[in-house]
Amino acid sequence: MFTGIVDGVAQVISIDKKKDLYNYNIKFPSFLLKNLKPGASIAHNGCCLTVKKINHFNVTFDIMKITLQHTNLGYLNIGDYINVERSLKYGDEVGGHLVSGHIINTVEISKILKLKNNYIIWFQVKDLSLMKYIFYKGFICLDGISLTIMDIIKNNFCVSIIPETLSLTTISSKKIKDLVNMEIDLYTQISVDTTERLVKRNVFYK
């Protein structure tokens, strides 16, 4: 589990593209390497990956084909930066919201408003079936960042990005049309899916 509070950014230094998976080498900041071991979980742009190998500052991960199809990790190039977060430990402060690291799909940036002290970024949801999980003032995790939904218009929603988040994550470098990983709030999904199932059951038995 994660919190959506990004620990830092890391750089892609090599990509080995094989038929069914990509092998990524990421250069980690030294402060994120403390007690890191193979088998540990790390969120990359919000997507949970398992540490395969550690060589000094370089950490290796395998990314399966299905993950490449449903996230923006397959679009990364050597030299790109990603948001990274170490997994939640017992007793840690949950500053954002509980995040599983399981990306449901990507959304596309449709508008960026750069204001004096913050950004307002609009995202277009291509898969309309996901809109039922997106609520005004609801939690959303975008590229691993825990955010609150400000507004919704049709299949678009927006979030406000504060200066601290702009300075500590990759979100300030995003452009219109860029794809961003989205994880909806787990409790929202459970509530919506359970309600739908109960409504359908009642309709059926009537």
Q: In sequence order, which ranges of the chain are alpha helices (DSSP H)?
A: 65-70, 163-168, 186-205
* Domain annotation for the chain: domains and CATH numbers: 8-86 (2.40.30.20), 105-194 (2.40.30.20)
Please give, one letter per residue, the 3-state secondary structure of 25-73: EEECCHHHCCCCCCCCEEEECCEEEEEEEEECCEEEEEEEHHHHHHCCH
Kindly give the confidence (pLDDT) of every residue in the chain, 206 residues in length, as a single tens digit, with 9 standing for 90 and above.
Answer: 899 999 999 999 999 998 889 999 999 999 999 999 999 999 999 999 999 999 999 999 999 999 999 999 999 999 999 999 999 877 777 778 889 999 999 999 999 999 988 999 999 999 999 999 999 999 999 999 999 999 999 999 999 999 999 999 999 999 999 999 999 988 888 899 899 888 887 765 55
Contacts of 116 (CB under 8 A, 6+ apart): none
pTM over 0.85: yes
